[in-house]
Amino acid sequence: MRKVISENRIRIAGIALFLVVAAFCMSSAGLIGEKDVILINEVCSSNLSVIADENGKYPGWIELYNPGDHDISLEGWSISNSGKKLRKYVFPDVTIPADGYLVVYADKTEVKEKNDPDAPFSIKEYIMTGRGSVVTEDVTEIHLPFSLSGDGERLYLSGKSKEIVDSVKVSSLDYNTSWGRIYDGVDQFSVLDPTPGYSNNKAESVTEKKLTPPVFSAKSGFYDEPFELSLTAMEGKEIRYTTDGSVPTEDSELYSGPIYIKDRSDEENLYAGRTDTSVDFLPYGEAQWDLPDSPVDKCTVIRAAVFDDSGNSSKTVTVSYFVGFDEKHDYDGCGIISLVTDPDNLFDHEKGIYVVGKTGEDYFKEQVSLSSDAVKYLEENPDTPLDGSVSICGITLNDWTPSNYTNRGPEWERETEVAVFSADTRKLLMEQTAGLRIKGNRTRNYAQKSFNLFARKIYGRDTFAVPFLDGDKGESSITLYTGANDERTKTKDRIVSELTNELDFGTIKYGPLYHVFLDGEYWGVYEAAERQNAEYIEKHYGVKKDDVVMVKNGMMSEGLAEDEELYNDLKHYLYTYGDKFADDEVYRRFTEMVDIDSMIDYYAARIYIESGADWPASNIAFWRSREVTGSPYEDGKWRFLMFDNNLNMLGSSVSKNMIEFASSGGDMFASCMQNESFRNAFAERMTSIMGTVYDPSETERVIEEVSEMTAKAAVSSEKRWYGKNADETYFERRMKEISDFFIERPKWISEFLEKM
């Protein structure tokens, strides 16, 4: 996608730069002395992961540059994207240092100084000196009352006297690229690799996708017989293509005639046998999986783009062909998804999101450096590898240590082509570009990892073209879920969701099962599942997503930086009064902060099935509206969300007193259990749920439905990931364990309630 300027072009650009800068300096030397000059230096309209604001969001941004030899205050200056309304935003008293930069965010959310609109305005780390050092003031960011269009527009910067000081026509931009001066202050612009707050002088030029993409003679789909694929391009242009999922470059295979498309399942695996995908595969690890040493089923992935002699190219076209799968009945009954992304996005040591990678290696080196014994050992054994592959004085990598795949956020999202085929006719339902991230906590270390998929306007459209969850319209994001700790049966979370979806807390909806192929190789079975985020709350509760505050596992997962205060209020109350809830007035004030009906339903339903493996210390989430309007669910009360039940309903925990366990956990439930009225309400509600939601006849019905839907696919996926360790009786045994749990659990719960 991107190409560094060649050495010749750099030389030419350097000469041109000298002339331009010289002319600029001569023409402006006197001007700067008489009149201050600030320039629009760089603009990013589609910021996926370049730079985040204080709320962890990634809005479009504009970089201003002071080319002069003295500091300039912007007080009274203005910036706009409209020539008819130049003063859309008027700057406060904020100073840009000489040869320095200021980054402002264009996201329609102009922000005043928190809690004190009359307080002096200051900016923090986004004012940079020309030497790249940070001006560290205690500050508030500038957010403009308008946003930027990815299709391009003109920006205007005006001085105190309302005269236009600088105007820039911004080009249409792909995400994570910028429109900037090729060198700070010069008049020549180009599409760049963004450098917000830093000089453009060393920025890489980005090749624009100007050419018409190639045309394929066959679309993605299922074919009974092999065939020849023809590719065509505009006259005089060449086509380059790949078959390994990588993005074509000028050095890729040159298309010179039809490509023979066949079933590639007997070809050597490129990715299925990788052992850098989990620390458990390290020599001191204990991997439970058995990676395939023989070829897995494959589809044929062709990616092609057009190039010309001037270095121009087209966008890449990606197709997935499944040949001869009419005879492969293991895939019957499930949809098929082909995920195609450049293999480096998954497996590269530095940027690959699926491997231990550099993050793991750096963590290991840091731990070694902190151990005097390890340092001494390395002095005596200097050839010892430091990538974590061997234990050094007991220092190892484990399930919880940082790795590439434990990294989160937009910086670890990768562009992916998604093709979806129906379960019955194998009809192509959707081909769409999306964002791909790894999902989960400890199970990110598993060989088969769950994915989050994101539809975004920067990729083409902000919803998926088909609904994954049997709704009326496509979602903006979904999870492709392995089942996590329940990866071998993929049933437990779905069973709990089906049983509890009418209770007073949020549950996750699970959609169809899909056999997934990753860069052409079979990657096992995944469940489509909802993501519990701000859009989930808007969909299910009618609260606008921008008004949602959500906490998961003790951390803010949705909301603004200032919303931390709302969560802190709850924590402070529990810290101050958590041992005084026997006092009815203390308890009553707590009920003004938390929806008690939601809390009781959540804890009753969860305690009933819980094993206590990692809950309630983990896997707990709640949300509230920021604004209090009096409308339903906009009362500012915290409400609960249910997720991650894949370690529950165990035969070993059927007799465990989770009421007592949770009551001693030191959380809000433990506090509430001090209060008699709460205990009575909880006991009454748990008894009701036990006799309805978890009645053995109801649980058996749901278990049978889920088992019938899942059994064949789960067994097939287990063969893929466990190989010779696979057990075709495992699924049946686990389903019986769940069924027996619900038969035995009532007598134990009744006994525990009596002891409360």
Instruction: Give a yes or no: residue 244 inside a domain.
Output: yes
> Which of 107-116, 436-445, 489-498, 673-682 has the lowest average pLDDT?
107-116
Instruction: Give a yes or no: residue 556 inside a domain.
Output: yes
CATH of the domain at 226: 2.60.40
Nearest C-alpha neighbor of 41 from the set 138, 168, 164, 205: 168
Q: In this prediction, what percent of the chain has a pLDDT beyond 70?
A: 91
CA 4-9-11 angle, 5° bins: 115
Q: pLDDT digits over 696-717, tens only? A: 999 999 999 999 999 999 999 9
Q: What is the pLDDT of residue 129?
A: 42
* Same domain flag for 200 and 313: no
* Same domain flag for 578 and 647: yes
Of 191, 207, 223, the residue that ends a domain is 207
Cα 36 from Cα 68, distance rounded (Å): 8
Of 207, 227, 254, the residue that ends a domain is 207
Cα 71 from Cα 79, distance rounded (Å): 19
Give me the number of domains the chain comprises: 3
Find out whether 558 and 548 touch, Cβ atoms under 8 Å: yes
Which residues constitute the domain of residue 88?
A: 7-207
Q: What is the pLDDT of residue 167?
A: 97
* Same domain flag for 36 and 162: yes
Nearest C-alpha neighbor of 578 from the set 565, 566, 593, 563: 593
* Same domain flag for 200 and 260: no
Q: Is 237 exposed, middle or buried (0-12, 13-18, 19+ CB in 10 A)?
A: middle
Q: What is the pLDDT of residue 754?
A: 95
Instruction: Give a yes or no: residue 751 inside a domain.
Output: yes
Q: What is the pLDDT of residue 131?
A: 40
Indicate if the pLDDT at residue 116 is higher than 90.
Answer: no
* Same domain flag for 33 and 67: yes
Indicate if the pLDDT at residue 583 is higher than 60.
Answer: yes
Q: pLDDT digits over 715-747, tens only? A: 999 999 999 999 989 999 999 999 999 999 999
Count other C-beta atoms under 10 Å from residue 699's C-beta: 23
* Same domain flag for 315 and 166: no
Pull the structure tokens for residue 82.
């409209």
Q: What is the pLDDT of residue 55?
A: 84
Helix (H) or strand (E) holding 552: strand 548-552
* Same domain flag for 182 and 316: no
Average pLDDT over residues 248-260: 97
Q: What is the pLDDT of residue 121?
A: 41
* Same domain flag for 672 and 687: yes
> Which of 110-119, 256-265, 586-595 has the lowest average pLDDT?
110-119
* Same domain flag for 193 and 238: no
Q: What is the pLDDT of residue 140?
A: 67
Instruction: Give a yes or no: residue 282 inside a domain.
Output: no
Pairing of strands 101-106, 209-211: unpaired
Instruction: Give a yes or no: residue 383 inside a domain.
Output: no
Cα 727 from Cα 717, distance rounded (Å): 11
Q: What is the pLDDT of residue 209?
A: 87
Of 172, 189, 207, the residue that ends a domain is 207
Q: pLDDT digits over 29-71, tens only? A: 333 345 899 999 999 999 999 999 988 899 999 999 999 999 9
Indicate if the pLDDT at residue 2 is higher than 60.
Answer: no
Q: What is the mean pLDDT of the chain?
A: 91
Average pLDDT over residues 329-342: 97
* Same domain flag for 202 and 239: no
pTM of the model: 0.89
Indicate if the pLDDT at residue 316 is higher than 70.
Answer: yes
* Same domain flag for 226 and 138: no
Q: In this prediction, what percent of the chain has a pLDDT beyond 90?
A: 86
* Same domain flag for 220 and 164: no
Q: What is the pLDDT of residue 34?
A: 52
Pull the structure tokens for residue 615.
């809950």
Instruction: Give a yes or no: residue 433 inside a domain.
Output: no
Q: pLDDT digits over 604-655, tens only? A: 999 999 999 999 999 999 999 999 998 899 999 999 999 999 999 999 999 9
Average pLDDT over residues 179-185: 96
**How far apart, in Å, are the Cα atoms of 623 and each of 383, 552, 594?**
52, 9, 10
Q: pLDDT digits over 645-684, tens only? A: 999 999 999 999 999 999 998 899 999 999 999 999 999 9
> Which of 114-123, 214-223, 686-695 has the lowest average pLDDT?
114-123
Cα 366 from Cα 719, distance rounded (Å): 38
Instruction: Give a yes or no: residue 150 inside a domain.
Output: yes
pLDDT band at 289 (very low <50, low <70, confident <90, very high): very high
Instruction: Give a yes or no: residue 436 inside a domain.
Output: no
